[in-house]
Every structure is written in C-alpha cells, then in structure tokens.
A and B are shown apart, each in its own frame.
Chain A
Amino acid sequence: MSVRARVALLAAWLALLAGLLAYVLAALKVSTDLRSFMPPPRTPEQRLLLDEIGEGPGSRLLLLALTGDEPDVLADISKDLVPRLRADRRFVRALNGEDEIGALADDLLPYRYLLSPTLDDAHLDADYLRSELQQRVQDLGSPAAAWLKPLLPADPTLETVKLAEAWAPPGEPARYADVWFTRDGKQALLLAETVAGGFDPAAQRDAQDALAAHFREAAGTGRARLVLSGPGAFTVRINETTSEEANFIGLFDTVGFVTLLLLAYRRVTTVFAGALPLLSGGLAGMAALALLFGGAHGITLAFGFTLIGVAQDYPIHLFSHLHREQPPAAVAHHLWPTLATGVASTCIAYLAFFASGVDGLEQLAVFTIVGLATAALTTRFGLVHLLGSKPYDAAQSSWLAALWRRLAALPRPRWLAPLLALGAIVAMSQAPGEFWQNNLAALTPAPADLVAEDARLRQELGAPDVRHLLVIEGDDADAVLAASEKLEPRLAQLQRDGAIAGYELPSRYLPSVATQRARQARLPEPAALQAALDEARRGLPFKPGSFDAFLRDVAAARDLPPLTAERFFASPLGLRLKAQLQPRDGHWTGLVGLVGVADASALVALAAQPDTPARLLDLKHASESLVAAYRTRVLYSLAVAAVLLVAVVGFALRRRSRVLRVLLPMAVTTLLILAALRLGGVSLSLFHLIALVLAAGLGLDYALFFEHVEDDELEQRRTLHAILVCSASTFLVFLLLALSSLPVLRAIGTTVTLGVAFNFVLALLLTRPRREIADAG
C-alpha cells in the first residue's frame, strides 16, 4: 500500500473510532448500583437484601462530625447546615438535635389524639385532666413557659410535645448550644439521610459532594472540617481509592508496556498502530452493550477491559512474525488460522456466560466477545495495511537465536503434566483456611481508621445498626403498621434486657387504623369533656374559657377519618415514614431500624418465634449467601465454557494428540494457580475466577502458537519472539497489580501473573511437537 493509502486508511479508522466513541458516550449509561450486578435472588432473605441493600434506614444514613474549631463556631455551622440539607432534594432528612417542635404540620394537628399513645392508658376525665393542668401551672412558672404557653389553649395535655419527643432519634447524643455534640464537647454531630442507596457510589458521590458544598458555604473561611462516615461514605472512599490506585498502576503499566514494545520492534509507528485493535475492540464492545442493553454496569466494564486485554497479544503476534520477504498482509494470512482458532474458541467459551441468567455476566459476555472478535478482525484486515514494508525482523536477532537453541534443547517429559496436576490437587486439599471467600467486603476493605471513626460516631449518635434490620411485610400499609405495633412490646423487652439499645418502628410515626379508631373511641363527648375540664380546673388559677380551643379540637377529632399512610407521606414528616414504609411489587414493606445491637442472638430468637410478624435481615449473612449463589452460577458457566472450548479446539485441530498438547498447559496451569493461591493462604473470590478465565485465554494463545510450528527455523524464532513479548508484557502489567495494596486488584494481579508464568513454561515443555528436538539437535 502507498503511504497515501495508508494515511487515508488510518484517517478512516480513527474517524470510525471517533464515531463509535460519540455513540458510546451518548447511548451507554453506566450504572454503579451494586444491585444490578447481582444475580436474581432465590431465598426470601436474598430478595430482601436486594430490595433493601443500600435502602435500609441504617445504610443510607451519613454520620457527620464537625471538628477543628471552637464549639460555638461548630454549633453555628451545624445550625446553618441543617436547613440547607433539608432544602436539598438529595436528602430525606437532616438532624442536629435542634428541637423540631413545629414538626407536626397544621394539617396533622387535629390528629394528635389519634397519633399519640396517651389515650391507650388514660381517659380525658377529670382526674387525668386535673393532674395535667397542675403540671401546666408549674410549667407556666418555669422557664419552659415561653414555648409551652402558645400550645396550652388547644393542647393542655401537650400531645404535640409527646409526639415530638417520640419522633426524636432513640438514644439522643449529648448537646452543646442546642445541637448534638460528642461527649467531650469537641465535635458537633449531625445525621443526614440520603435519598441515594448506600451502595451506589455514583449517587452517593453526588449527594456527598452536595453535602461538602453546603458545608463550605455554612463554614465560610473558618478552620472547621467536616468528617463523614457511614456506609455511603465508605462506598465512595473505597471506590475512589480503588480507581485511584488502578489508574496509578495503569499509568506505570502503559509506560512499561510501550517501552517493552519499542525495545521489541524498534518502530514508534508500529507500536502506536498496535494500540488500534484493542481500542477498536473496547469501543465496539461498549457500543454493543449500549445497543443490546442500553447500559452497562461499572463492574462489567472494569472486568471486561481486564478480559479483553488479551487482545493486545493479537498485534504482537503479527508484529513478531513480520519480515521483509513477504508483505504484512501475507504474514497475517499465514497466521490467521492459528490466531482465529484462539479467538473463536475464547469467544465461544464466553457464550456460556451469556446463558448465566445474570445481567452483569451477560453484559460481560457480550462485551468480551464483541471486543475480542473486533480486535482480531481489525488486526487481520485493518492493521496489516497500515504497516510499512520494511519492518523489524525479530528472527535476525542473535540473542533470540541463542535463546531459541537453548529452549529447543529442553526436555519434554511426559510425566510432567500428571505429576504437576497431582501435586497441585494434593496441595489444594492441604492448604490452610477457607477455600472460598464469601465476604465481598474483605476484598474491598474500608480503611481501619474509617471503621474506628464510624464506630465512635455511631455510638455517640445512637445511629441504627448497619448489619441488622427487622423487615415487616404486609398486603397493605395498615397491615405493616399493625404488625409494627405488635412488635413494639417485644422490642421494648429486648431493650430492657440490654440486647439492643433502641429501635425505630414505622408505627411510631403512624399507628394502624385500628389503634387510631380505638383511641378515637376513647375521646369523650363534648358535654362530658366540658364537665371533666370544669371539675379539673377547680382551685387552679386558669381563667375561664382558657381551653375552648382544646374542647373544639377534641370534638373535631371524634369524627376524623383515620390518618392514612398516603396522607402522612404528603406531610412535611412524610419522608421519614417513607424511609421505613414502602409499597413494593403489590405488597408493603416496613423496615425497623435497630440501635446498638449488643446481642444478635436475642434478635434471631425473636425472629424465630412463629408469631413474630417480622423477619430479621442480617445483611452480612444474606450478602454472603448471595455471593455463594453468584459463584455457583459462575462456576456452572465456567464448566460449560470449558466444554465449549475443548469442542472448538478439537474441531479446529482435529487430531487428538494436537488437542491434548494445546489444552494440557492451560489445564495444568489452572490447577497450579489454584494450588499456589491456596498455599499462600488466599481464599478464592469471584475476582480470582474471572482472572483465571483470563489466564486460561492467554495460555490457549501461547499453546496454539507453540503447537503450530513451522519447519523454518526463522519462523520458529519469530513465534518464540511473539510469545516472549506477549507473556513479558502481560506479566509486567499484572505484576504491578499484584503488588497493589488493595485486595481486589491484588487478587486479579496475582492470578494472572502466576498464570502467565505457568502457561509460558508449560507451553514450552508440553506443547511443542517432539520432532522439533531432532531438528534442533
């Protein structure tokens, strides 16, 4: 091809990539909510987990501490911050302990006798009213008079105050200047509940950025700092450190990788042209996701890009085989059957994931298949035309020739494969620790200082437990509320026993219709109430007519229709009830927050009683069972993939001895990796499994090329060069990941690094045909 034609091709290719990129940016919605990557739930507990993960009252709660300045300054910032958060639609509620006496909106005020528990054990008779009025006289003589006085004419029994107290968080923190403070008085404390789920990093990030901006506005130029904790804060922090470290490692990887290729091929243009197939594959994969699914999960993309990293080997095979006697297109034509066998068998194997029934894995399959196929095809039919006619010929290198001779002389013992496989299996059975790692959090651990900070703030604030949650289900809102009332005395007992420090039931905001009606029935008739009040007032200094508003309100309350959840939702307090009571797929769910769980077994025992109208959700247990279920599906997919792979390789190579020589290194390597990891005390996670698939794909490529040996020694040297460059570059890239401080990156890095080393050595020792020894000798 002429230079002009090559430039035109490059321009067209880049334009196509730009077009794909524009499409992907416009059409691909990347979701970050962990739930969409999870498999469909099987057990009721898993279903609840997926419903509630990130939505339980505990997990959406952010714990805030203001620190670093004088307490008075911090208190002022706290008071300034709360109204800002309340006005922000990203937050359900914001609390700092400032009294919310006006919390009962005017339209709910008439309902106070139906909402407050007073009438459950008292009647509005002369005795009760007299004792209340006596206390009111004392109130008027006390400093509380200032704010109680306006309430008294309509509410002499102070139901509004009782409701406001009942709706305050259980176990209130210490205070300074009206607002919550730590007991040492150095940090102001606040609670903010986000609308976003706790485990949705993008939405949490958005909410927390908004929170930080509100804080900066409230704090001005002072010294005060904001400390954030809670599941949402952890999610964002972990996400950031992971991507920061991955990006940092990625930068080093890129530099190392480019340096290695420059050393191997001595042509800058070659090296950069070599990036085009992978780039095309990645963009095509994302475009396919946009087209088929309309979006992709962040985890799919992260895994997917790891998996299609194999595609970088395709141009390397081509480059290493280039020489001056044949044009690049002819070289590619010659390599194609071997390369295509590797790509096709890997792609077909990934079809197994497509049938897994898990959205995340289906997306992964589509992305990887489209990405790998595109990279291979563009290498074969695009890249070759971009290359010049005077390439670097690897076969001319004298050190390569020497290395080739040395390797060619290596023995190829038949007993090696069975011995290694047996040793690996024995090692695995003897290795210490659990085989599987079910705790996802162990792979993305929160920094210890954050965990300690969280425990401290959670205790100071009396914030709900993140792990345990009681879940009530019912046909309608009222059924859930009735069940919630039934739970009340049992939880109160647990609190007295010290098993829990507190609890938040949905019925503390809104009692069931039956309870409201029972209270309504106890409201006296107007004449009776008037008489009782007159008697109660005798001897007390209240002026006549002081409580006419009270008489009117009670009379009106007798005829009110019971307050419904829908009506309550519309009130200013509605969001709080909504956080604990929600319709879902035709039924209603109520969430009971538990504070300071000291004895989880008491909760288990409570939930186990047949007449307890709630289920205990142990988020840790449920997520572990879900991870195990997920892994089962991945393992099934892997088994099917292995069968497909063998079938495709068998179809391509026909002869049994050839198939065995190609597949053996890959199979033994997989066992060796598992054995090495297990001997190192590593419990295996999903990330290890995905990395094993990647390592197997690499091994297949190496073996195919080693197996497909030409009689020409120069061609054999070129193949060796190709596999050396492939394995060295992959080894380098994943070695850096293996050295990462983050377990999730380390899992992928270690597995693939081991895989490259084992695959390369075993392909050398097990794959090359025996006749080569005679030739080399």
Chain B
Amino acid sequence: MQLVEALKRPLPAATGYTEVRFVQMLDAPLVLRGDLTYTSADALGKSVVSPYEETTTIADGQVEIRRPGKPVKRFSLKRAPALAGFLESFSATLAGDAQRLARNYVLASDGSAAGAWQLRLVPRDAALARHVTRVTVSGMKTTPLCFEVEEAGGDSSILLVDALAGRPLPASPQRAELQQLCRHAP
C-alpha cells in the first residue's frame, strides 16, 4: 500500500474544509465551512465558521460541541459512528499507516494515470458497520482531497479539504456533482 504510505503528514496538521451533508429529513443539503486541526492520532478539532459558529473537539473518545451562548454538549464518540469512521480513516491516512487501515477496513483502491486516486474503505468492525457502510477517500498524488462517509440510514457527507476546501459550490450542490469533483480533481 504505497499509496497510503505516501500520504503521511507531519503532525499537527491543519486545513480548511467544506462539508456537504445530505440528510434525508432535509430537502436541501447542509453546506458547512470551517477549519480542521489534527493534533494527534485520536484528537481532532473541527470548527464550523459558516453559516454559524460551532466547535467540535474530539479527545480520548469524547466529543464536545460548543456553540456560542449554549451549554457545551458532551458525548461519547461511540454515539457518533459517522464521526468515528471519518476520524479513523482520516488519522490513519494522515499517518500513512496502511496496516492500521487494513486492520479496520476492507480496502479497495484505484488510480488514474494523471495521479488521481480513490480509496474505498468498508468497516470490518460490526458495530461501526451497522452505522457506516463505506468511507471513500479520494485525492491527487500524495494529497487527500475528499472524505465521503456513507451512513447505513441513507444519509451521507462529503468533506472537501486542502485544495478543494475553498472551491465555490452551488447553493444546493448535488452529491453526484461532488463525487465527480473528488474523482477528477485537478
């Protein structure tokens, strides 16, 4: 898995991001922009800057969500399987740790001559698999650009980072459109 090993980044790492969430209860996707800070293997900070402010910190298996003027929400990472799946794939990818990825996911990958690649991860852990059906990481050369998390209930989210983070998007982006963008990013 040379591909994964080549993705290794020094810590701490930080990037802007744009997240598009497709929720079945909602008739339009949510588009959130903000910053990710990744300090150690199981500590991640995720700050939403627009359309509202919200900071999520993950450490020691606990999630804290802070919103201005509201009490802090704390809960276990276990109760947010989509986040857990994202964190696991994200940190293993940034650590360039192919073995860890292979231990936790059934892997499939392909790549193009131009250097675009895609890594499809299906959770091995039954508890996680009940909630998360697939995580797809796509990128260009040694840089991951998209993390797509597909949930068992039909909801999904696509997180665009690095070069794609600041990409302007339509008000109500379509999922296929974004997938296309991730696969064939410049």
- A positions within 8 Å CB-CB of B: 98-99, 135, 137-138, 140-147, 149, 152-153, 175-178, 541-543, 546
Contacts and interface: CB of A to CB of B under 8 A. Distances in A.
Rank and list the top 8 A-B pairs by shortest CB-CB distance, nearest first.
A143-B83, A178-B76, A143-B80, A541-B26, A177-B61, A541-B28, A141-B30, A146-B80
Interface string B133-165: 000000000000000000101010000000000
A542 B30 CA distance: 11
A708 to B, nearest CB: 83
B62 A175 contact: yes
Given A142-B56, A178-B76, A149 B27 contact: no
B32 interface: yes
Given A99-B79, A140-B23, A145-B21, 11 more contacts: A142-B48, A144-B65, A145-B23, A146-B79, A177-B76, A541-B26, A541-B27, A542-B25, A543-B26, A543-B27, A546-B25
B80 A141 contact: no
Nearest to B74: A175
B122 interface: no
Interface string B23-61: 101111010100000000000000010001010100011
B63 interface: yes
Contact of B75 (A99, A137, A152, A177): A99
A138 B25 contact: no
B75 A140 contact: no
B167 interface: no
Given A99-B79, A138-B52, A144-B65, A149 B60 contact: no
12 contacts: A137-B26, A141-B30, A142-B56, A144-B63, A144-B75, A146-B79, A149-B155, A152-B25, A153-B25, A177-B76, A178-B61, A541-B26
B131 A176 contact: no
Nearest to A142: B65
A175 B21 CA distance: 30
A161 to B, nearest CB: 9
Contacts of A543: 25-27
A98 B79 CA distance: 11
Contact of B60 (A140, A141, A177): A177
A562 to B, nearest CB: 29
B184 interface: no
B124 interface: no
B42 to A, nearest CB: 10
Contacts of A175: 60, 62, 74
A634 B83 CA distance: 69
B139 to A, nearest CB: 23
Contact of A137 (B30, B67, B78): B30
Given A141-B48, A142-B65, A147 B79 contact: yes
A144 B62 contact: no
Contacts of A141: 19, 21, 30, 32, 48, 54
Contact of B27 (A140, A144, A145, A542): A542
A142 B52 CA distance: 11
Nearest to B31: A141
Candidate in B62, B65, B67, B76 with the most chain A CB atoms within 10 angstroms: B76
B16 interface: no
A140 B76 contact: no
B111 interface: no
Nearest to B59: A176
Contacts of A135: 70
Contacts of B32: 141
Interface in B64-95: 65, 67, 70, 73-76, 78-83
Interface in B82-112: 82-83
A394 B54 CA distance: 97
B27 A142 contact: no
B25 A143 contact: no
A178 B25 contact: no
Given A138-B67, A149-B153, A175-B74, A143 B56 contact: yes
Given A99-B75, A178-B76, A143 B27 contact: no
A138 B80 CA distance: 15
A770 to B, nearest CB: 89
Nearest to A153: B25
Contacts of B27: 541-543
B63 A143 contact: yes
Nearest to A147: B79
A175 B74 CA distance: 10
A146 B21 CA distance: 12
A416 B159 CA distance: 102
Contacts of B48: 141-142
A149 B83 contact: no
Contact of B78 (A138, A142, A178, A541): A178
Contacts of B151: 146
Contact of A178 (B19, B26, B62, B131): B62
Contact of A146 (B19, B56, B62, B131): B131
Nearest to B76: A178
B44 to A, nearest CB: 10
Nearest to A150: B153
Contacts of B67: 138
Contacts of A144: 63, 65, 73, 75, 80
A140 B62 contact: no
A181 to B, nearest CB: 9
Contacts of B74: 175
Nearest to B151: A146
A140 B56 contact: no
A146 B83 contact: yes
B43 to A, nearest CB: 13
Contact of B54 (A99, A138, A147): A138
A39 B7 CA distance: 78
Interface in B117-132: 131
B87 to A, nearest CB: 9
A146 B82 contact: yes
A25 to B, nearest CB: 52
Q: Give the most central of A138, A146, A153: most B CB within 10 Å.
A: A146
A152 B26 CA distance: 12
Contacts of B61: 176-178
A305 to B, nearest CB: 55
Given A145-B23, A146-B79, A541 B30 contact: yes
B30 A147 contact: no
B23 A147 contact: no
B65 A143 contact: yes
A44 to B, nearest CB: 40
B171 to A, nearest CB: 11
Contacts of A140: 21, 23, 25-26, 30
A143 B61 CA distance: 13
Contacts of B62: 175-178
Nearest to B81: A146
A682 to B, nearest CB: 53
A147 B56 CA distance: 16
Contacts of A546: 25
A732 B55 CA distance: 75
A147 B75 contact: yes
B163 to A, nearest CB: 23
A583 B63 CA distance: 42
Contacts of A178: 61-62, 76, 78
A152 B155 CA distance: 15
A152 B82 CA distance: 18
Nearest to A185: B60
B80 to A, nearest CB: 4
A98 B74 CA distance: 11
A543 B28 CA distance: 9
B65 A176 contact: no
A701 B126 CA distance: 81
Contacts of A137: 26, 30
B65 A542 contact: no
A145 B155 CA distance: 10
